Chains A and B, each alone.
Chain A
Amino acid sequence: MTAAFARWATEVLEESGHLFDFAGELARETGRFLASPRRSLRLDARPLLAQFEQIGALSVPVVLTTALFTGMVLALQAGLTLELKLNGITQFMGRTVALPFLRELGPVLTGLIVTGRIGSAIAAEIGTMAVTEQIDALKTLATPPVRYLGVPRLLACLLMMPALAALADVVGLAGGWAVSSLALGLPSNVYWGDIPAMVGAGDVATGLAKSVVFGGIIAVVACYQGFKTTGGAEGVGQSTTRAVVWASILILVSDYFLTAFFALLP
């Protein structure tokens, strides 16, 4: 039992080391990309735009649907709790929905949804390229694979995640308003007017900052799993699963530490 745990811990540490090495390589290649933007865009504008579309625009419907219903259920639960258990103090509905949504649910839910939709796709696409020698083919054409495949995905994840999280925030609050107003009968001005009383720009900013970190986690983990894929279709499946599991875990773990970090800021 102890030996098995030691072996597992060693594997996790080794894997983490490789992941950090890969993150460093991806960061260096991204730095080179940004250092000569005109040349980079001339060479790689097309894959970059394709990733912006894939990661950003095409993720909008699923992110918004999730945010809408999460905002609605949050309002419903909050309404029932405030109404039935806290003597009808439903004038606090706005803050009760907005605070957790802007600080936590918006960025975390968006992160998990994008992990499922995009993290899996990145790992599967790059993994398939690895097992069909397309990654080697890039090298023979003097094109660094991490730069050609990894950098556009990282940039798209870093820039699109806060945009998606911001959209999720707006739609989540709207979902909360819809339930408060239409199902629970709370006047709209009471719901919207309560939000600024407890929620500031800092809450929105920390939520969006978290989503940038989550975007980085998704891109790094998914690309790493894709590039290290071996063993045909079975290997691609395993890489895809590992990408989703590891990115989801890292998002949830890092969320705690980011929250603690932001709490320490003045």
Chain B
Amino acid sequence: MIEVRGIHKTFGRLQVLKGVDLDVRSGQTQVILGQSGGGKSVLLKVIAGLLDADEGRVRIEGRTRAELGPEESESAALRFAYLFQGAALFDSLTVGENVTFALRRFTRKSHAELRDIAEERLNWVGLKDVQDKKPAELSGGMRKRVGLARAIAMDPAYVLYDEPTTGLDPISSDAVADLILSLQARLKNTSIVVTHDMALAFKVGDRLSLLYQGRMRAEGPREEFRRMDDPVVQQFIHGRADGPIQFL
């Protein structure tokens, strides 16, 4: 369970988050929708501990990160996996070394075991025979899959997806959605997906929420969210230019 309460975040004069509240239930996939530049990724980074909030707190299983000691912080960090928008693979390492990065640092597995695990996780995301390639040799979609394989290598309890389908064609986007569902079924983890891709949102989300003007405008189970009569929610779902939501 992740509890987000009263998160405020300002960059310079731009107030991005103005008191965000959200509960992410264990074992479910929570989708956060919102306009581009509306603060979704900032919220995800605050939840992941990559950014500090100006105000508010994030409790994970009842505790904030500040309450954890150094060793607990390390193991807490490893329970979180983060799929970055651009995959954020380490250029200087091979695909296999990227996937097993955390395993090499925090376990005593042999080289052969690491290669087996890398191959297994790469197979899970639909990739074969790429272990020895460098990230620069892969396509954008493949890089995202490798990023996902790296993220899930330590069997995380929480997986955070930052715009997982951005830059992908519709077929690849649907394949990523299937992948998120299959990983969820396999790992039984809690996921947060930040996106403005409605097809992805309704396919993978158990619950959906809409971040609008720095606050959570609406939140609820998938079908309930789809039927909400809030004009902002309906405009976003149907992708209409006319309505209360203005271009940023």
A→B interface (CB under 8 Å):
43, 128-129, 132-134, 136-137, 139-143
Which chain B residue shows the least CB distance to A141?
A: B102
Decide if B38 is an interface residue (CB 8 Å cutoff): no
Interface of chain A, helix or strand or loop or mixed?
A: helix
List chain B residues, Cβ under 8 A from A139: 49-50, 77
In the bound complex, CA of A103 to CA of B150 (Å): 51
Decide if B88 is an interface residue (CB 8 Å cutoff): yes
Question: Nearest Cβ distance between residue A35 and chain B, in whole angstroms?
Answer: 14
Which chain A residue shows the least CB distance to B105?
A: A43
Residue-wise, chain B 170-187 has the 8 Å CB interface mask toward A (1 for contact) of 000000000000000000
Total number of residue pairs linking A and B with CB closer than 8 Å: 50
List chain B residues, Cβ under 8 A from A133: 84-86, 88
Which chain B residue shows the least CB distance to A148?
A: B105
Decide if B245 is an interface residue (CB 8 Å cutoff): no
The reply to whether A134 and B77 contact each other, CB–CB distance below 8 Å, is no
B→A interface (CB under 8 Å):
45, 48-50, 74-75, 77-78, 80-82, 84-86, 88-91, 101-102, 105-106, 150-151
Which chain B residue shows the least CB distance to A134?
A: B88
Contact with A142, one of B90, B106, B150 (Cβ below 8 angstroms): B106
Which chain B residue shows the least CB distance to A142?
A: B77
In this complex, the member of A129, A132, A141 whose beta carbon has the largest number of chain B beta carbons within 10 angstroms is A141
In the bound complex, CA of A134 to CA of B85 (Å): 11
In the bound complex, CA of A43 to CA of B106 (Å): 9
Question: Nearest Cβ distance between residue A50 and chain B, in whole angstroms?
Answer: 8
Known: A43-B105, A134-B91. A140 touches B77 (CB 8 A): yes
In the bound complex, CA of A43 to CA of B150 (Å): 18
Known: A142-B74, A142-B77, A142-B78. A136 touches B45 (CB 8 A): yes
Question: Nearest Cβ distance between residue A147 and chain B, in whole angstroms?
Answer: 11
List chain B residues, Cβ under 8 A from A128: 91
In the bound complex, CA of A187 to CA of B104 (Å): 60
Question: Nearest Cβ distance between residue A27 and chain B, in whole angstroms?
Answer: 18
Question: Nearest Cβ distance between residue A263 and chain B, in whole angstroms?
Answer: 44
| 16 CB-based A-B contacts, threshold 8 Å | A133-B84, A133-B85, A134-B88, A134-B89, A136-B50, A139-B50, A139-B77, A140-B48, A140-B77, A140-B80, A140-B82, A140-B151, A141-B101, A141-B105, A142-B74, A142-B77
